[in-house]
Amino acid sequence: MPTLSLKPLPGYKPYPGPLVTIIMDGVGLGKRDESDGVFLAYKPVLDALFKEKLFTKLKAHGKAVGLPSDDDMGNSEVGHNALGAGRVFAQGAKLVNEAIASGKIFEGKAWKSVMERAQSGKAVHFIGLLSDGNVHSHVEQLYALLERCAKEGVRKVRVHPLLDGRDVGEKSALDYVVPLEDRLAAYTQDGRDYRVASGGGRMVTTMDRYGANWGVVEKGWRAHVLGMARQFKSASEAVRAYYAEDPKVTDQYMDSFVVAENGEPVGPIEDGDAVVFFNFRGDRAIEISRAFEEPDFKEFDRERLPDVFFAGMMEYDGDAKIPKYYLVEPPAIDRTLGQYLCAAGVSSFACAETQKFGHVTYFWNGNNSGYLDAKLEKYVEVPSDRVPFDQRPWMKAGEVTDELLSAIASGERKFIRANFANGDMVGHTGNLPAVRIAVESVDLALSRLVPAIEKAKGVLMVTADHGNADKMFEEKNGKRTPFVAHTLNPVPFIVKDFSGANRWELSGVQGPGLSHVAATLCALLGFAAPEGYDPAILRLV
């Protein structure tokens, strides 16, 4: 860790209790109408906090979190990066777009190694999320890679699309699958053979994270690598068949499939092939990368491990070096808040359930795994349920709260942070009654935490990383359709100081965003913001 230091904040008076920061994942500030699951929820504690003097709204999407444009929804990865970094870094989508536009992506060793496999007559496989949600991937980036393959004379390409229905419309798969099939068909000429080979919904095929359910990755492995799943003549036929068989099925939960001819899969991954996982976001890319790269892999029986060259769109874990090869360099996030606080000797505690544990640790710490200083930090992961989130919308909010109450009561940790996953994970289901319960579960957690923080004479900060539960449906041409993606709405920012040691006021920062939170946390802990950090939202009176 680099040598860093923080300067004392003039006029600041220490207080005995902890600074507790609560990140309500996916809880934005919406229209306050019947489409707004946050507004509809019974949440007396949050409603009272929204009336606090130290309340404002933060930008949590677009350029404010390093994405290409303000039309781009925020997400938990970039949101927690911004919260922990204190300034805005160009993020996945923007970095990839810039690398494609400049051609730099095709000049690196990874792409050249992919082309070496292709030039020896082997197939190039692309696996990833097929949508323009711009959270994990973007279809135009895939198209750019396909175009380059054709330009460089690659003869055999296989695409393994994962269906979204989460960051885009819940039943929009054909809007992406059909154009992809048409594009691949257009390339299939002059000796080229470009096809879709396998796929499935992202929540059941390949894109697990944090070890929550390795069965999801195994299902993807069997489809993509072994060619073992239900067979169809095309991906579009698979989608239409699944829609017809179960009108309630949505894209993200659609079963896996394999495209086959005469009973034989058209594109299992074989020895000598090249494989590119084209998602730029890391959390749901790490496990499939491990499956391809680890010789002593033990999470499930791979049955066979083909000798392939595997590359990610980006490096998904900088500490663990996953994957070994990648097309685009990740953002170099340095001088994080966590590094400064460790250097200053501030003890800390971080907690979340599995679905968001990496966000309050890995992403918060600038895409770095593990402890920054194990003597000063303690991280606690509460295992998530392995059921659809709308079936248990309370998730593990109670257990996370128990851990926080224990940390507060111990008096050993000055800075405590936690993520409540409910608003985001349940928000993605589009189940409005469940979303209301999810938000109410977070409010119930706050009702337990507030008295404990008050008793300890501490400070409470409440915010969110992006919106989701604040928009459950949209109306077009008089018809309501579920809205299951993140929103472009601002998120709340509240500070409630129970210590009485200092007097704070809003600093008047214009258009504050998530990146302004780190400097604010510094101030609440008695430090001036590090040089280059976006200014604090509060100031001493």
| H or E element, residue 19 | strand 19-24
**pLDDT value of residue 1:** 46
Over residues 404-409, the mean pLDDT reads 98
pLDDT digit string, tens, across residues 55-67: 999 999 999 999 8
Check pLDDT > 70 for residue 101. yes
**How far is it, in rounded angstroms, from Cα 135 to Cα 468?**
13
Residue type, 180: L
pLDDT at 344: 98
CB burial class (10 A; 0-12, 13-18, 19+) of residue 326? Answer: buried
CB 267, CB 198: distance < 8 Å:
yes
pLDDT digits (tens, 9 = 90+) for 274-324: 999 999 988 899 999 999 999 999 999 999 999 999 999 998 876 578 999
Contact 461, 446 (CB under 8 A): no
Structure confidence at residue 367 as a pLDDT band (50, 70, 90): confident
Q: CA 421 to CA 445: how far, in whole Å?
A: 12
Give pLDDT tens digits for 492-512. 999 999 999 999 999 999 999
Label residue 475 by pLDDT band (50, 70, 90): confident
Mean pLDDT of 168-184: 97
Burial label for 302, CB within 10 Å (0-12, 13-18, 19+), is middle
Q: Which two tokens stand for residue 7?
A: 């300067």
Q: With CA atoms as reference, report the closest residue to 417 among 24, 15, 1.
A: 24
Are 407 and 416 in contact by the 8 Å Cβ rule? The answer is: yes
Superfamily assignment of 19-90+332-509 in CATH?
A: Alkaline Phosphatase, subunit A (3.40.720.10)
- Residue numbers annotated as active site: 76
Mean pLDDT to the nearest integer, 105-126: 97
What does the domain layout of the chain look like in residue ranges? 19-90+332-509, 93-328
Tokens of 332: 């170099």
Those residues whose C-beta lies under 8 Å from the C-beta of residue 97, and which sit 6 or more positions away, are 68, 138, 141
Domains 19-90+332-509 and 93-328 share a fold: no
Residue 342 has pLDDT above 80, yes or no: yes
Q: What share of the chain is helix, strand, coil (3-state, %, to 5)?
A: 35, 20, 45
Q: What is the DSSP string of 321-371?
A: TBSS-EEEPPP---S-HHHHHHHTT--EEEEEEHHHHHIIIIITTTS--S-
Tokens encoding 121 = 């007559």
How many residues in the chain? 541
The Cα 484–Cα 176 span in angstroms is: 17
Structure tokens that stand for 331 in this block? 């953002």
The answer, as to whether pTM is greater than 0.85, is no
Mean pLDDT score, 458-463: 98
Q: Which CATH architecture has domain 93-328?
A: 3-Layer(aba) Sandwich (3.40)
What digits encode the pLDDT tens for the residues 129-152? 999 999 899 999 999 999 999 999
Q: What is the pLDDT of residue 210?
A: 76
Write down the pLDDT at residue 328: 95
How far is CA 411 from its chain centroid? 32
**DSSP state letters, 60-123:** -SGGGGT-SSTTSPP-HHHHHHHHHHSS----HHHHHHHHHHHTGGGTSHHHHHHHHHHHTT--
Distance CA 25, CA 358 (A): 13
pLDDT at 67: 85
Average pLDDT of 190-212?
Answer: 95
pLDDT top residue among 368 and 39: 39
235-251: average pLDDT: 98
Q: How confident is the model at residue 331 (pLDDT cuts 50, 70, 90)?
A: confident
Whole-number pLDDT of residue 223: 98
Q: Average per-residue pLDDT in the chain?
A: 96
Q: Is the pLDDT of residue 24 over 70?
A: yes
At residue 513, the 3 state secondary structure works out as strand
**pLDDT of amino acid 91:** 85
CB 176 within 8 A of CB 130: yes
Answer yes or no: is pLDDT of 2 > 70: no
Average the pLDDT over 188-217 and give the result.
95
